[in-house]
Amino acid sequence: MNPKATSREAILETCRGIVRKQGLSGINVRAVASACGVAPGTLYNYFPDKNALVLAVTADVWSDVFCLDGQQEPGQGQGQGTGFATHVKRIFKRAREGMARYPGILPTHVLDLAGNSEQRSVGQDMMRSFFARVQDDTMRALESDSRVKPDAFSGNLSKRGFVELVTQQIIVLLILGKDNCDALVATIKAALY
């Protein structure tokens, strides 16, 4: 067999294509190996079993959805002087566009996490880690926004708590299939500026 994909990154890229067309249910060792042009055993050099493959693909897809691969829109550094409200709007927009590339990814992923308890636990840990990255990026945006009023955070409202709340609301809006996050952005502006 003449391998077309023999790196973890190339395998995950192929898997993203499968997920775009068939959803996460299209990810299985034989289908991925065939699409990559390798023997099924080759995949086990990179992923110990199907669950590990599915989890890696899921994490890779979510990174693509939220543009966490380091790519940014031209002229837009993540969290660097763009204003927190603008940053939140951009995250939401990119995530909506990313989810459009992977129809049904959110409900499928939620159902997958409801599966066996071992996979659910690993999947939940992976998602916590993933969303921590989103929150860290969002925290950098908040800390770099010089327009935030000095008394915006006090008492029970910390910067970290605010970022966690905003991130959770972005996820809720995405789950609900909302087209925009205008009410969230208006709330952020009222609270911070």
User: pLDDT tens across 72-130, in order?
Assistant: 443 344 444 469 999 999 999 999 998 888 887 776 665 565 555 566 677 677 777 87
In CATH, the architecture of 1-53 is Orthogonal Bundle (1.10)
What predicted TM-score, i.e. pTM, was given to this entire model? 0.76
Dihedral of CA 177/173/138/127: which sign? Answer: negative
Kindly report the backbone phi and psi dihedral angles of residue 192, in degrees, each rounded to the nearest multiple of 5, phi listed first. Answer: -100, -30
Q: Are 141 and 87 in contact (CB under 8 A)?
A: yes
Q: Are 181 and 89 in contact (CB under 8 A)?
A: yes
Q: What is the mean pLDDT of residues 18-40?
A: 92
Task: Give the pLDDT of residue 164.
Answer: 95
**Where in the chain are the domains?**
1-53, 66-192
The residue whose two tokens read 């952020």 is 188
Length of the chain: 193
- The CA–CA distances, whole Å, from 65 to 39, 73, 145, 154 equal 29, 14, 24, 33
Cα–Cα dist 13/32, whole Å? 11
